[in-house]
Structure 1
Amino acid sequence: MYDNAVMSSLHLRITFVIVIFCRISIGADGSVTISSSAATVPEGSSLTLTCTYTGNEQMYLINWINNGNNSTRKYNIQIKQPEPCSIFGKPGLNETLFTYTCLTLTILNVKRDYQNDNFTCQANLNINSGNSVIVSVSDSPPNPPVIDDFNTITDYQMIENSTERLTCRSTGGNPLASLAWSCYNGIESDPSINGGSVSRSVQFTARRNQDNTCTCTATHEAGPLQQVQLDINIMYPPSTPEFKVNGSPVGVAISIIKDSAKTVTCHSFGKPNPSTYDFTWTKGSTVVSSNSVLSWTGGIKIQDGGSYKCTVKTTMTPSDTSKTPVTTEVTSDVTMDVLYSPRLHQLPRLSALLGENLTLKCEYEPGNPTETTVVIARLNDRITWTEGTHFIPSLKKSDGGMYNCTVRNIMKPTGQQNEIVGEDSGIFQVNVWYITSVTKFGLTSHLDAINVTVDENTTLNFYCEVDSNPNSTIIFGKSDRIQNNVTLKKTDGFLHLRFDVQQAGCLDTASYYCRGYNNYTEIETAPMKEMNVYVRCSPRASGGQWESNVTGAFGGNATFSFDVVAYPVPNKDGYVWHKWKGTTYSQVHNSDKYTISNAGVFTTFTINAIEQEDFTTYLLTVSNGISPDFNKIFNLSPQDVPQCPTDLTYSTTTSSSATIGWISHFNGGLKQTFIVLYKMIESSKYLVLTADEIDQKIQYKILLTGLNDGSTYEVILFSRNEKGNCKQNTSLQFDTPIRLVEPPPGAVGSIVGGTTALIVAAIILVIVVVMVLRRKYNIDCLCPIKLSREDLYHDANTDEAIDTQAANTRGYNPTQTYEDISIV
């Protein structure tokens, strides 16, 4: 029994039973036959009838006649001949029910009620067909066949080499359909009929890579063939994993360059084909990737090298649920070899003294592979050495500089045809210490010149360069006739020095030098280069030590000296001395009176046996051929002890007074004071009177008062100035007259009064003298004044006299010893 769903799927089919009545007409008119396209036609299908005419008569009409069992469907359809053929008349025809050609009529959409319709054809209205087509209706055909249990799938999954069984079933139809399998040459069972259905099974075995389609074909006399198909997919476990690097197949030993971003992929084939998440990468017991791709963040590192395992796991699930799914797990091991270049150690800076031995060594950590090539290169001349160490005997300056150390290995990464050179390179310095040498020194305007002459106001650009390691202290200086080794500029830690003189002058004429020294140079023996610079200039004062105002003494000598700065240096005739003659200067020459000495830039002029007229001004004129000449005024001034006064005289005026006179002489150029010492012969104490020099006065007198009558007095006279006493004092003796007559009483009062006045005046004078002497000669007391032989001491050998209470008494020569006296 079929369920309602199956019954509803069955379609009613109509089968036309064609009964052919053969009648053959032979004659001049010819013959006509009718045939159909099929014996049975399923309901809803089309039936094509063909009318065939054989004869000699010209064809002009085909007449189709339906003598059907239903009078409502009886009709004639006349088709005019020849082509293009068309329907003639069309009385009440429904042209949607058929189509035609010149000799065919196709009935569209055959219905069940067409059963037993009878069709004939006629040619030219007079030649009838000798047969007819009768439509007969039977049951409808079976439903399309299905495959039991798998009618809802199109793919059938099976495991390779397993035995499978499929059953095809057809339901309905009268008669039942015939079933046949096309499936791997499998063994088909006999058809099995059960009620309104028929089934047939096939049993087969298939291997991998034999995927195919199994087809069940149902045939039925009432309709076309019907088929049902099932695609067979043969499953098999995954293959042993293989590996690829960046898509290229590789073996189980993979070499990858350090920090490379390359990935390693694990590949396996099977059915079902493993997905990327069916793979697991492990290193030891650690899962490092949960998919088919193994990669390293930031590139592979040295510690990432080692043995890895790739595992692929899949499950084969058959479509036949009665069979158990099969899970398969396969693994492969692979070794990751991380390639990397050798790595240099820190390269130190090397230092050694000139002439010492030095070993250069490139120390490094080997890479992978460990075979390493070492190259040492000197950068300044590109000389290379391929040893790991290089020995330099007896260092030269040229050995100093920058060196390059390179270490290399050859890496062959998997999946890459070209070899990769791995290298590490570093630069280090070799310092060769050596003493300083001055290589260049001079003026930029006169390169390499040792002697240079320039005009005044020229700019001088000095330069000095040294060769030194380490750098030097550079001293630039000059030496001239005034000063030796004057440092003009000093720099520390350099190899060159510059110094500019913006406007060269006379004083810049000198010998210039550049000296350099470093840690390995003795300062005392520091190398030096020199050059001479001469600045053309007219004569001028050098600024040396000389005096334009000179003092002299009578009978002595006085010398003027002067040096100039000038280039060219004046010759002997370039120095001319003149003496002032009251109205003009007159040239003087070498003689007994004058001595002139000229040597280079130095001249001296000596005046011999000085006389008073020599105390005047002198003019020096210097010329060297460059204008203007140089002129300098000199003065000779007296500066000596005065000449002693002469012509000492006295005149007695009274028995108690006397007048002393003398004539003054040259005061030695300084203001002089006349000193008069007097005492009675019997006394040991001197009385002192002084008188200051008065300009233009020659003769002097002084009054001695308070004398005793009838007494003998000694007088000493000399003069002194700031330089000291005159060289030869003078003296005399005189007697005061005896008072013979007593003065009258009135006269006595007068005398007394006069005497009193005289005494007062004398006291005042003494006080004044004492104050003056105290101020001038540092006398410690005002009065009384005591002068003794200790006070006046004469050294005959030195012609010096010392006043122990006053000033120097130069030239005093006492003729006798004096006792102390006091003045009241």
Structure 2
Amino acid sequence: MKFTAVILLTDIFITAEGWPCLTPVREVYSQINTAAVLQFTADLTNLNSPRTFFVKFHDGTVRAMIRYNADKSYTTDSQPGVSITANTAGIVAVTFESVQKNSAGIYTFGSAGFSFRCNCLYILGEPTKPNITLKYVPFVRDSTTLTCSSTSTTTPSNHSLSLTYNWRVDKEDNPGGSRYSYSSSKKTLTLSNIVKNDTYKQITCKAKEVVTDGYASIRSDSFSFDVLYGPDTANINVQSPYNMTEGDTNVSIECSSDCNPGCSYTWTNLTSYSRISTNGVLFLDTVNRYMTGDYKCTSSNTGIQNKSSETTISTIVNYQTAVTSFYIAHEGQTLVTVNEHDVHIRITCEVDSNPASTIKITFDGEILQEQTNIMALSYTLNDVTCLQAGVYTCEGYNEYGQPSIMNATLFVRCSPRPLHQFKRNITSTLHTPVTLSFTTLAYPEPGPSGFSWHKEDGVRWTPLMSNADLKISSSGLQTNLTLLNVSQSNYGQYRVTVVNGLGSFEQYMYLKPEDIHMQSQTLNNRGSTVPNHTNRGSTVPNQTQGINNTETDNTAMIVGVTLGIFSTVVVVYAIYLTILMRRKSTDKGTFKNLLRKKTHPSGRKYFSPQRISLLRSGYRTYFD
């Protein structure tokens, strides 16, 4: 069990409750709720008969006793929570298991007719919360002293314990250096060569009793160190030049100084030399571009005469990007039509902003041209295709406000062609509806009158019109043929023709039963005719952009390949017959040589492999 015992010897004569105490009086220091041990010496001189010694508190209550016999054997007794041990030499130890605040005081040990031995038990307490005082508020470059004061709460209070102190300055304990000096117990702290930044220092201290296991106080309240100074400079909370945005409201520019006890401020517009504010804030209600200029802040110390500082700031008013012009080919043109394969089509975007902007020209989500810190940007189209028709966008922005956007539309004249790949072979079961659809790429748009449908009927093509069995719908760039109830006669090949003012295009489709095996490729892909105009290609702005997978007709190719294969077979067969006849007439000797026996280096006769092959093929009879 933890206990604290500190012995301080004195040469004075102490009387406790009428009992004279022989010196020295032993001082015992113990923390609360710990074990405290008192030690005494029994007077065993002339021990001829039993002698009883009592341990008494200063109020006279007996806490323990020990009885020595003539042979110096002994017996002990004690109250609960108290134990007593001894030896034959008369050294007696009394242990209090868990001392409390009320356990503090004088304890006597003695026997009737003998002088008393005394112990004083001190119960250690936590020193009071310290308080910091400052000798005087210093000026810059002065010195001043701070004092930390605390009181011991150890009981009884007549002890001789002292306190030592710990200082903390801005989270640093007992800072060193030439500017800091302390008294021996660190009760005082002297700060020399004061600077204005010392004003912001936060200082605390705490006390600790100088004894084993002595308690430390809680830390004092934070003491804000004060210094008289300034102002040295008038500080503005924004950098010069200060950028503002046109249209901003409630803009505040603050001026402050390092002065104490206080500062006053004045703002002056150096353009008009008018005083516009008498406090530390330059307040601008609504910013406009004419507020660009220079402003001066004057800071003065309210407690020191003729002490002031001035600072000037420049302001710049910025405003967001506005696309002022976006045109194709010529200024002011936002709807422009060109021919496919035209060259040097220039697209130009111009903006107004402060500062300069980032400008990008985009088409169908793709950035064509982008550049930063500029006021104008151009992009040139060379060899225009119909897929480059559509809406072009100019976007300009800087760090102020939202981006500005303007559109221009390019139309490209081109003859019809397929917009994308599609399935030419369509399957359908009987007695169900089916739709044949085709989308073209063309400008001008064919419209409803630019599409026509035909069905192959033997050797001729029959035009189709909407009736009770089928429905044809065409608009813009797409046409649909819907068979409302598929019959056996509906199976076969269909042709859709697209026409605009620049040319035409034909596309073939094949409808077949769903339960019949795949037709040959020749029947499935009858192909398309060649347009009667060169397919220069174009699109209109509302088309799907960026798809250039057109379909071509395979009929001519298949017929050509078939005729080529047939011609090749005929030529090869003719060559074969010619070679065979020439060999029969001119190379008969060669074949006979092959049939003769050859002589091996060993002298043995043998037939060559060629002879064996010829003999098996019947050439023996031919040469015999």
- TM-score band w.r.t. shorter chain: 0.3 to 0.5
> Taking CA–CA contacts closer than 8 Å with sequence separation of 6 or more, which of the two structures ends up with the larger relative contact order?
2
Bigger Rg over Cα: 1
When normalised by structure 1's length, the TM-score is 0.32
When normalised by structure 2's length, the TM-score is 0.40
Q: Which has the higher helix share?
A: 2
